[in-house]
Amino acid sequence: MYTLDIILPHIDHSKRLLPYPQARFSVLAYDTRKIRLGTDCLFFALVQQRDGHRYILDAYQKGVRSFVISDPDFDTRDYPDANFLWVNDTMRALQQLAAYHRSRFSIPVVGITGSNGKTIVKSWLHQLLSPEYKCYQSPKSYNSQLGVALSLWNLTAEHDLAIIEAGVSKIGEMDFLQQMIRPTFGIFTSLGTAHREGFNSKEEKFAEKWKLFAGVSPVIVPSSAIPEAYSSSSNCITWGGRPEDQLQFLGSSQDKDHTVLQLRYEKESFVIAAPFVDKASIDNVLTCILVMLTMGYAVDTIEQRVVLLRPLEMRLQLKKGKYNNSIIDDTYSNDFASLQIALDFLGQQNQSDVKKLILSDFEGEEWTTKTIDKFAQLLNVQSLSQVILVGERMEMLRSKLQMPSLLFKSTDELLNALADLGLKNCVLLLKGARKFELERVGRLLVEQSHDTILEINLKAIENNLSQYRSCLSKGVRMMAMVKAFSYGSGSFEVANVLQFNKLDYLTVAFVDEGAELRRAGISIPIMVLSPHEGTFEDILLYDLEPEIYSIRILRSFIAFLETRGITSYPVHLKLDTGMHRLGFMPDEIGPAVDIIRTSQRIKIVTAFSHLVGAGSRELGTFSTQQIQLFKQMVSQIELSIGYSVMKHICNTSGIVYHPEAHMDMVRLGIGLYGFDMAPNALNLEEVGTLKTTITQIKKIPKTETVGYDRKGVLQRDSIIATVKIGYADGYDRRLGNGIGEMSINGNIVTTVGNICMDMCMLDVTDIEAREGDEVLVFPDLNQAARNIGTIPYELLTGISSRVKRVYFYE
Ligand SMILES: *Cc1c(COP(=O)(O)O)cnc(C)c1O
């Protein structure tokens, strides 16, 4: 807890209005949706994609009374009892505060940066060092300008070592992170290719990242990552294959799931077995080993601990449970900050009002009254129906909880009782420290997945959304297309994220898709593209808004509303400006409007049309004509009905190519899922990743053939891998016989022979591959679509429903 007057000297500000300078706060708030106890918060009006000043009223209503703002003209008269601090840049102010908090601790602070492996190395070190240290680690991959500040804020006097991750994507960013973290020990994990992270060259990227280590010694780094110009840096302790590296990698041998590393440190040679076989994991292990050696650990100790590392899922996952429930599995680590994140995610789920939590004891937390109170307070402000605690020490927490709770001394005890706990029809968060292995509970509650899964990255949806939002002028609304199972990505799981991110509208193709979302608790407006007579009942029942596209459907919907005595029902009028699919033709506008005006049964909320070639340069003139015609048709409508309606015509490509036609709203479809026909226009992330596994590997002589009809003719003696995905999963048969490419351990391989219903075969002759290896099915979905003469839309929506979706939120 700080009071305002204590922090004032540490934040550069130009003006202040402090009726209550003694106001106390412990939470740095910047997103009103996440505020639970407003009186505890200091709110920063960050100016990002959305201007935080617009949410001050909301924060105030949630009890916040202290604000840091940057708008010099902000009118504070409505908030006479609130504190205001004016700064030049609210993000910098938040960082200054985090830096001040950090400066109060004189403990070792390990700063980690690099292209890949930051989060893994951080978590592994936390595990490797925890017997000696009460170690704080920044939660998840909180490594951005905001993430680092929030991470540091959670540092407390109980910790005696901190591991903080820093990530940058452009020049100039690292200085700010460095000033906050001020590491005393550095780790540089790896250097990837330049263009993927937004830098012009490897040197430029390295130089930016290296700024984290200004004045820091030592810095652990793979020598292969250091560009020429830096090779003489005296603060480096390197690992690599060269004799001059402090930790020299001499060679290795592999069995099924271990790699035995032959190493030399100082003058001594030794071997360490790492429980991994892939290169990325081995690199990360080498970094960890060198960190421990540098800290003075004995080889024996390192060896004993490294062998216990696991390639565990570190991301928070959302899965469908067996008993009409949703399971949020976040069982890799447990500390205050990551619990907070997981509870926020739980709060976003609307599919059931019943929310439960299974919570194990924490790592690296001393069990003082203060800590217990902090955790109890966090839990008591959530709306949880039940909390199930695991671990002996948790009794003390239990006594302070206000909701029904149970306690089990161990995970085994919990597993024995699991069947009787009634964990049905709810959303259940499993949050536990690694050693409690709560994932065992998850396994019993979740339907077992078959080896092919579609991973959905919900955070990528948020990223893509904000990319497109940044293309819109103020006041332009956005509709998200969630038809066809959200282009294959899921229903309420995706809709919950969109609702949480304050989308104005969701759009489905059919009424039953809309009904499913409503039953899952989605409450924002939903438009239905293709309603028909048989579904009018459900439209009303589920509060859906139909697209009205013809005189016939207009008449029948009005007749239906008459039987119910309903007036002014919201609908959307579809106008045909050239697509010639659904919609009123120009000559039908007059008669349609007459019917609408005389009946008074419906209210036109929006009028819209669809561009046939929004992303095409050749069709530019045609698009302009469509836009023109659309505007004429809508003015005719507005003139005769006597009120104005919202207008929209742009889909994803339209948003990028026709900014002049954004009008009142845009309809974002495929771009939300990470695909855009406009190359490199925006920084999109693919949302779905289709993965399968190798079931069997065989050596086949070149005289043989592979698969049905002997189509898989071999040119040489070959090694063939069979994977568990076929056309029934949505892997198109046209991808057979060398057309389809998949990726195994980073290497591209091609299909051999015809695609079967549930399987297909790959040529792995030239690469290292083992049974059980993971296979990325579409390393380049755009390319795959082009190769078989289709578009990404078809491949995405074609991934069959039997392929299990697993949702991540990082
Ligand atoms: C599907 C659809 C969209 C979205 O199109 P994208 O190309 O995926 O952005 C927009 N409007 C209508 C009417 C649609 O049917």
pLDDT tens per residue across span 326-368: 999 998 878 888 898 899 899 989 999 999 999 999 876 778 8
Q: Give CATH 3.40.1190.10 domain extents, the chain.
A: 105-307
User: Residue type at 750?
Assistant: T
Name the residue at shortest CA distance from atom 4 of ligand 1. 669
pLDDT tens per residue across span 189-241: 998 765 556 788 888 899 999 999 999 999 999 998 998 877 766 789 999 99
Domain 317-445 is found in CATH 3.90.190.20: yes
pLDDT tens per residue across span 89-124: 999 999 999 999 999 999 999 999 998 889 899 999
d(CA 361, CA 359): 7
More confident site: 164 or 194? 164
Question: Pick from 636, 687, 652: which is nearest to 808 by CA?
Answer: 687
Q: Give CATH 3.40.1390.10 domain extents, the chain.
A: 2-93
Give the pLDDT band (50/70/90) at residue 451.
Answer: confident
Q: What is the mean pLDDT of the chain?
A: 93
Strand 741-744 versus strand 747-752 pairing type: antiparallel
Neighbours of 19 (CB within 10 A): 12
Cα of 580 vs centre of ligand 1, distance in Å, is 15
Tell whether the model's pLDDT for residue 150 goes beyond 90. Answer: yes
Cα of 507 vs centre of ligand 1, distance in Å, is 9
Q: Which pLDDT value is given to residue 194? A: 53
d(CA 386, CA 402): 10
Q: Counting atoms of ligand 1 from 1, which one is nearest the CA of 652?
A: 9
Ligand 1-lining residues (CB < 6 angstroms): 481, 529, 610, 651-652, 667, 669-671
Name the residue at shortest CA distance from atom 13 of ligand 1. 610
Give the pLDDT band (50/70/90) at residue 669.
Answer: very high
Q: Give CATH 3.90.190.20 domain extents, the chain.
A: 317-445
Cα of 653 vs centre of ligand 1, distance in Å, is 9
Cα of 480 vs centre of ligand 1, distance in Å, is 9
What angle in degrees, to the nearest 10, is found between the helix axes of 492-500 and 511-519? Answer: 70
**Which has the minimum average pLDDT: 191-200, 689-698, 800-809?**
191-200
Cis, bond preceding 218 (omega within 30 deg of 0): yes
Q: Counting atoms of ligand 1 from 1, which one is nearest the CA of 608?
A: 13
Top mutation candidate among 651, 793, 794 for ligand 1, by most atoms within 8 Å of CB: 651
CATH fold of 457-673: TIM Barrel (3.20.20)
Q: Which residues are annotated as a binding site?
A: 581, 757
Q: Which pLDDT value is given to residue 246? A: 95
Q: Are 445 and 364 in contact (CB under 8 A)?
A: no
Tell whether the model's pLDDT for residue 679 goes beyond 70. Answer: no
Tell whether the model's pLDDT for residue 572 goes beyond 70. Answer: yes
Q: Which pLDDT value is given to residue 193? A: 66
Q: Are 624 and 613 in contact (CB under 8 A)?
A: no
Task: Give catalytic residues, as residue numbers.
Answer: 483, 708
Q: Which residues are annotated as a binding site for substrate?
A: 581, 757
Q: Counting atoms of ligand 1 from 1, which one is nearest the CA of 655?
A: 9
Domain 105-307 is found in CATH 3.40.1190.10: yes
Tell whether the model's pLDDT for residue 678 goes beyond 80. Answer: no
Give the pLDDT band (50/70/90) at residue 656.
Answer: very high
3-state secondary structure of 109: strand
More confident site: 763 or 116? 763
Which CATH entry fits the domain spanning 688-808: 2.40.37.10, 3.30.470.20, 3.40.50.300, 3.40.50.2300?
2.40.37.10
Q: Which pLDDT value is given to residue 643? A: 95
Name the residue at shortest CA distance from atom 12 of ligand 1. 610
Cα of 638 vs centre of ligand 1, distance in Å, is 24
Tell whether the model's pLDDT for residue 313 goes beyond 80. Answer: no
Top mutation candidate among 481, 576, 675, 684 for ligand 1, by most atoms within 8 Å of CB: 481
Q: How far is CA 669 from CA 162, 355, 673, in A?
A: 42, 31, 7
Rounded to an integer, the average pLDDT of 295-320 is: 89
Domain 2-93 is found in CATH 3.40.50.300: no
In the DSSP assignment, the letter for residue 661 is: G
Tell whether the model's pLDDT for residue 401 goes beyond 80. Answer: yes
Residue 249 token pair: 């990698």
Q: Counting atoms of ligand 1 from 1, which one is nearest the CA of 615?
A: 7
User: Can you list the pairs that 763-768 forms with residues at least 24 positions away whose Cβ atoms lie under 8 Å?
Assistant: 763/718, 763/719, 763/720, 764/697, 764/719, 764/720, 764/721, 765/716, 765/717, 765/718, 765/719
Q: Which pLDDT value is given to residue 115? A: 86
Q: The pTM is what?
A: 0.80
Share of the chain above pLDDT 90, in %: 80
Name the residue at shortest CA distance from atom 6 of ligand 1. 669
Top mutation candidate among 479, 610, 650 for ligand 1, by most atoms within 8 Å of CB: 610
Tell whether the model's pLDDT for residue 577 goes beyond 80. Answer: yes
pLDDT tens per residue across span 406-441: 999 999 999 999 989 989 999 999 999 888 999 899
Cα of 626 vs centre of ligand 1, distance in Å, is 16
Name the residue at shortest CA distance from atom 15 of ligand 1. 529
Which distant-in-sequence residues (6+ apart) come within 8 Å of 48 by Cβ? Answer: none
- Provide the residue count of the chain: 810
Q: Give CATH 2.40.37.10 domain extents, the chain.
A: 688-808
For 588-613, b/e burial (b = at least 16 CB within 10 A) is bbeebbeebeebebbebbbbbbbbeb
Q: Counting atoms of ligand 1 from 1, which one is nearest the CA of 671?
A: 9
Tell whether the model's pLDDT for residue 550 goes beyond 70. Answer: yes
Cα of 630 vs centre of ligand 1, distance in Å, is 17
Q: Output the CA torsion sign for 293, 296, 300, 302.
A: negative
Give the pLDDT band (50/70/90) at residue 170.
Answer: confident
pLDDT tens per residue across span 236-292: 999 999 999 999 999 999 887 789 999 999 999 999 999 987 777 899 999 999 999
User: Residue type at 320?
Assistant: K
The CA angle 303-305-311, to the nearest 5 degrees, is 110
